[in-house]
């Protein structure tokens, strides 16, 4: 999929034009085109081949031509020209609060500043204050902005922040007089990474709640203290904003601060069409508030049903809602099993017995034990001999345990030539086979894609684990043509994993949606190595929801018996 590359180039063109001082409409057109392409669930290259680019919203003949140019040449001549005029690193500066395109241009032209470090140094040496149009105050603000920028560029994985946010909510519920309390923002939408924690409350004594907030032992620094809004920096480095709102505005505030911004803008447009005004206080007809207490009420006032937070991204949910065909998203409590857990047999730290106990606590009825295969020595790959010991061990436990059943599985390594790391006669004995790439990440897109395709076509394989190999904040996906993988999975009735480990979340929301649309079953696995990681299952469900999945799209909603039936069906055994 070239979607991201095309979107990236358009975003950069927009920012470079901005620094140059170009026409705002032109800049906005590139930004919108980038957004449209980034959110596509189809391959932009496919659309180009079918001559359908011009049908995309905001893409006219000119932009369509530019997309084709990027697809054909790997870049855009306009972009190459702009880069000669303005160094790319200056784009980072636009992210610094206090710096706009005009100032960036001056910094570059007068002081030759080309990096954030240069800029920080120049501020400290007071070179900035002397520039025309800058001054002492600006210099100080830029320094503050740099600090914020450094914190901001470290967006945190949802899996790190969500438990923290939930802990804080629990403390505030117990130890302060809150009535309603909720986390809004990207956390409520379950976006894979988040910038900050947005908390909303209602209370008859806001001052007591705010006092409790700043006294939390998790707080490192108080940024602003007030009765309606308090901001703190937590010891983990993340900022938390707590806002007190009126009960009559609760739903409106929740909707507003949950976002996303793009979704809110669309909702506001609908309100305007009806002659209504919508903001964080409510929905207004003239001066009268006609809705605001609940989110349902707010949506209903603009003619929409309630839209689940996970899909509030302006990726078609408004249109679906208007047509009455929003998906009925898979719910968190419909998940019955975890499809990918490592035990002591490979590099997991838990015994099968401990895994059963944990699953029972989490209310699960089945767990697939998928240890690494023999060749993956660094990860304690299971020898064929141990594999059969494990099989007998599982059979024994399944006789004893009625609540939680284990499934005898493997995460078999896809070798560099596309063959699998156990012989077929061994794989045939294993009830559930997920295949995955763990080596040879440097191979070309064609090689990696073909490796995964060979695994998908193998008659004994059920699913592919972490199909793109990305690790959030650490490793980019390996070069893989995910559209092709989805195509082949669809053709062969194989599943693709939503790896729920908080740093993977692979497939991601957009790829999940593309898979779902092609009828590919999704399967959520936590890839647990330490027992508590089984709790990440709900993050996988969140990705499924963000990918518009319904119950029927997710294999984990099957009962143990139904899942075993599916496993056999894939192998034509039933």
Contact status: 159 vs ligand DGT (CB under 6 A) = no
Q: Give yes or no for residue 411 binding Ca ion (CB under 5 A).
A: no
Q: Which of 264, 346, 481, 556 binds ligand DGT (CB under 6 A)?
A: 264
Give me the 163-202 binding string for Ca ion, x by CB under 5 A, dash otherwise.
----------------------xx---------x-x----
Per partner kind, with CB cut-offs from 5 to 8 A, the member of Ca ion, ligand DGT, none near residue 384 is: none
The nearest distance, CB 266 to ligand DGT, in angstroms, is: 10
**What number of other Cβ atoms are within 10 A of residue 146's Cβ?**
20
Q: How far is CA 449 from the centre of its chain?
A: 23
Q: How many whole angstroms from its chain centre is CA 384?
A: 37
Question: Is 508 a binder of ligand DGT (CB under 6 A)?
Answer: no
137, 261, 361, 552: which one contacts ligand DGT (CB under 6 A)?
Answer: 261
State both tokens at 443: 């191979």
Q: Which residue number has the CB closest to ligand DGT?
A: 259
Size of the site for ligand DGT (CB under 6 A): 14
* 194 makes contact with ligand DGT (CB under 6 A): yes
The whole-angstrom separation of Cα 254 and Cα 181 is 10
Q: How far is CA 315 from CA 139, 204, 399, 574, in A?
A: 40, 38, 47, 39
Judged by beta carbon, residue 196 or residue 413, the one nearer Ca ion is: 196
Q: Is 381 in the site for Ca ion (CB under 5 A)?
A: no
In this chain, which of 186, 230, 231, 557 binds ligand DGT, going by CB under 6 A?
A: 186
Is 309 a residue that touches Ca ion (CB under 5 A)? Answer: no
Q: Which is nearer to Ca ion, 263 or 393 (CB)?
A: 263
SS3 label, residue 95: coil
CB of 19: closest distance to Ca ion in angstroms?
A: 27
Distances (CA, A) of 403 to 176, 399, 499, 559: 39, 11, 24, 12
Q: Which is nearer to Ca ion, 196 or 314 (CB)?
A: 196
- CA-CA-CA-CA torsion for 40, 46, 51, 57, nearest 10 degrees? 0
Contacts (Cβ under 8 Å, ≥6 apart) of 2: 43, 44, 45, 70, 71
Smallest gap, in angstroms, from Cβ of residue 280 to ligand DGT? Answer: 8
Q: How far is CA 79 from CA 29, 66, 67, 84, 91, in A?
A: 15, 10, 12, 9, 13
Burial of 142 (0-12, 13-18, 19+ CB in 10 A): buried
Q: Which stretch binds ligand DGT (CB under 6 A): 188-196, 336-344, 399-407, 449-457?
A: 188-196
Q: Please, what is the minimum distance in Å from the beta carbon of residue 161 to ligand DGT? A: 9
Q: How many CB atoms lie within 10 A of CB 287?
A: 6
Looking at beta carbons only, is 186 or 301 nearer to Ca ion?
186
Beta carbon of residue 7, minimum distance to ligand DGT (angstroms, whole number): 18
The entry of ligand DGT, Ca ion, none near residue 256 (CB within 5 to 8 angstroms by kind) is ligand DGT
Does 260 participate in binding ligand DGT (rule CB under 6 A)? yes
Q: How many CA atoms lie within 13 A of 475 on its CB side?
A: 15
Is 103 or 155 the residue whose CB approaches Ca ion more closely?
155
Q: What is the 3-state secondary structure (H, E, C) of 369-427?
A: EEEEECCCHHHCCECHHHHHHHHHHHHHHHHHCCCCEEEEEEEEEECCCCCECCCHHHH
Which of 416, 346, 333 lies closest to 377 in space, CA to CA?
A: 346
Q: Of 253 and 496, which CB lies nearer to ligand DGT in the complex structure?
A: 253
Considering only residues 477 to 536 of the shown chain, the ones binding Ca ion according to CB under 5 A are none
- Selected from 18, 196, 314, 338, the binder of ligand DGT by CB under 6 A is 196
Question: Of these, 2, 103, 190, 195, which contacts ligand DGT (CB under 6 A)?
Answer: 195
Instruction: Please select the residue that binds ligand DGT; options are 18, 43, 45, 198, rule is CB under 6 A.
Output: 198
Q: Write down the least CB distance from residue 199 to ligand DGT, Å.
A: 11
Is residue 259 at the binding interface for ligand DGT, with CB under 6 A as the rule?
A: yes
Q: What is the DSSP letter of 209?
A: H
Q: How far is the CB of 125 from Ca ion (least distance, A)?
A: 34
Degrees to nearest 5, angle at CA 497 with 365 and 420: 105
Structure tokens at 432: 């559930």
Dihedral pair phi/psi, residue 322, rounded to 5°: -65, -30
Residue 193 CB, shortest distance to ligand DGT, in Å, is 7
Query: Where does 194-260 have alpha helices with state H?
Result: 206-215, 250-258
Question: Which part of the chain contacts ligand DGT (CB under 6 A), choosing from 91-99, 185-193, 358-366, 454-462?
Answer: 185-193
Max Cα separation, the chain?
80
Select from 476, 566, 471, 469 the least CA-distant residue to 521.
Answer: 566
Query: What number of residues does the chain have?
Result: 574
Report, in Å, the least distance between residue 194 CB and ligand DGT: 4
Among 79, 108, 256, 563, binds ligand DGT (CB under 6 A): 256
**Interface with ligand DGT, residue 257, by CB under 6 A:** yes
In the complex with ligand DGT, which residue's Cβ is closer, 259 or 477? 259
How would DSSP label each residue in 514-539? Answer: HHHHTTPPEEEE--BSSGGGGGGHHH
Q: Which of 159, 185 has the CB closer to Ca ion?
A: 185
Query: Site residues (CB under 6 A) for ligand DGT?
Result: 185-186, 191, 194-196, 198, 256-257, 259-261, 264-265
Query: Site residues (CB under 5 A) for Ca ion?
Result: 185-186, 196, 198
């Amino acid at each position: 999929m070239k979607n991201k590359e095309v979107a990236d180039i358009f975003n950069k063109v927009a920012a470079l034009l901005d620094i140059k001082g170009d026409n705002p409409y032109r800049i906005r057109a590139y930004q919108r085109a980038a957004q449209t392409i980034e959110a596509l669930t189809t391959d932009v290259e496919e659309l180009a081949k079918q001559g359908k680019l011009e049908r995309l919203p905001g893409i006219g003949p000119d932009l369509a031509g530019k997309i084709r140019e990027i697809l054909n040449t790997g870049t855009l001549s306009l972009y190459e020209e702009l880069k000669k005029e303005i160094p790319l690193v200056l784009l980072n500066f636009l992210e610094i609060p206090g710096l706009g395109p005009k100032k960036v241009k001056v910094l570059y032209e007068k002081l030759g500043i080309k990096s954030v470090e240069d800029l920080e140094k120049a501020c400290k040496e007071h070179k900035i204050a002397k520039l025309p149009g800058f001054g002492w105050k600006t210099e100080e603000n830029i320094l503050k902005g740099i600090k914020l920028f450094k914190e901001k560029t470290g967006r945190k994985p949802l899996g790190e922040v969500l438990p923290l946010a939930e802990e804080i909510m629990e403390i505030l519920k117990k130890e302060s007089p809150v009535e309603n309390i909720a986390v809004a923002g990207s956390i409520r939408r379950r976006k894979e990474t988040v910038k900050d924690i947005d908390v909303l409350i209602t209370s008859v004594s806001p001052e007591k709640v705010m006092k409790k907030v700043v006294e939390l032992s998790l707080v490192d620094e108080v940024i602003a203290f007030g009765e309606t809004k308090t901001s703190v920096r937590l010891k983990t480095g993340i900022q938390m904003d707590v806002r007190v709102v009126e009960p009559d505005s609760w739903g409106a505030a929740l909707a507003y601060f949950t976002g996303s911004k793009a979704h809110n803008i669309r909702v506001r447009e609908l309100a305007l069409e009806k002659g209504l005004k919508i903001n964080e206080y409510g929905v207004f007809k003239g001066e009268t508030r006609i809705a605001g207490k609940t989110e349902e009420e707010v949506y209903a006032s603009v003619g929409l049903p309630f839209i689940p937070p996970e899909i509030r991204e302006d990726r078609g949910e408004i249109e679906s809602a208007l047509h009455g065909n929003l998906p009925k998203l898979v719910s968190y409590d419909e998940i019955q099993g975890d499809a990918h857990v490592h035990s002591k047999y490979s590099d997991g730290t838990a015994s099968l017995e401990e895994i059963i106990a944990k699953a029972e606590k989490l209310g699960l009825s089945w767990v697939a034990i998928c240890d690494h295969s023999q060749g993956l020595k660094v990860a304690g790959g299971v020898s064929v001999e141990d594999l059969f010991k494990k099989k007998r061990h599982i059979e024994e436990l399944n006789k004893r345990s009625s609540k939680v059943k284990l499934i005898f599985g493997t995460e078999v390594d896809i070798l560099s030539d596309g063959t699998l790391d156990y012989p077929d006669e061994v794989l045939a004995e294993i009830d559930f086979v997920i295949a995955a790439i763990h080596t040879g990440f440097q191979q070309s897109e064609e090689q990696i894609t073909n490796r995964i395709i060979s695994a998908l076509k193998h008659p004994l394989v059920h699913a592919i684990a972490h199909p793109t190999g990305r690790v959030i904040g650490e490793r980019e996906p390996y070069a893989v043509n995910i559209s092709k993988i989805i195509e082949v999975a669809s053709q062969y009735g194989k599943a693709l994993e939503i790896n729920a480990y908080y740093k993977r979340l692979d497939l991601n929301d957009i790829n999940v949606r593309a898979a779902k649309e092609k009828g590919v079953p999704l399967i959520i696995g936590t890839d647990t190595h330490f027992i508590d990681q089984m709790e990440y299952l709900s993050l996988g469900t969140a990705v499924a929801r963000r990918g518009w999945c319904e119950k029927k799209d997710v294999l984990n909603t099957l009962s143990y018996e139904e899942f075993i039936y599916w496993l056999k069906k894939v192998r034509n055994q039933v």
